[in-house]
Structure 1
Amino acid sequence: MPLVHIDLIEGRSPEQLKAMVKEVTDAISKNTGAPAEHIHIVLNEMPKNHYSVGGVLASDN
């Protein structure tokens, strides 16, 4: 059972998230042979003020 964790900054539409998990599921199934119904994906969305690169919060960009 593949288990995938994806961390994202919030702001994507439900349609974008649906498309992403579909494509990730397809890629994992294709490359591992795991059936789609056995692939689990966890999306962790965080606010921009909870993510930083180079000491600068994403909310400050």
Structure 2
Amino acid sequence: MPMINVQMFEGRTPEQRRKLAKELTEGTCRALGCTPDAVQIIITDIKKENWAEAGKLFSD
């Protein structure tokens, strides 16, 4: 069973999340030949002050 973890900045709408889940599920099923009920997706919101790149917080 494929498990997909998505980490992204908070602020996406429920509709955007639904679309993401649908697209990820469809793509996974095409690539792996599995059924949609086998695909699980975890979406985690991250605050910009909790994410850094190149030594700088995204909130800065």
TM more than 0.5: yes
Q: Distance in 1 between matches of 2:47 and 2:17?
A: 16
> One-letter code of the match for 2:8?
L
More helix by share: 1
The percentage of aligned residue pairs carrying the same residue is: 30
- Normalising by structure 2, we get a TM-score of 0.93
Unmatched 5+ residue regions in structure 2? Answer: none
- Normalising by structure 1, we get a TM-score of 0.92
Paired residue total? 60
Unmatched 5+ residue regions in structure 1? Answer: none
Runs of 4+ in 1 over 6 A off after TM superposition: none
CA RMSD of aligned residues (A): 0.7
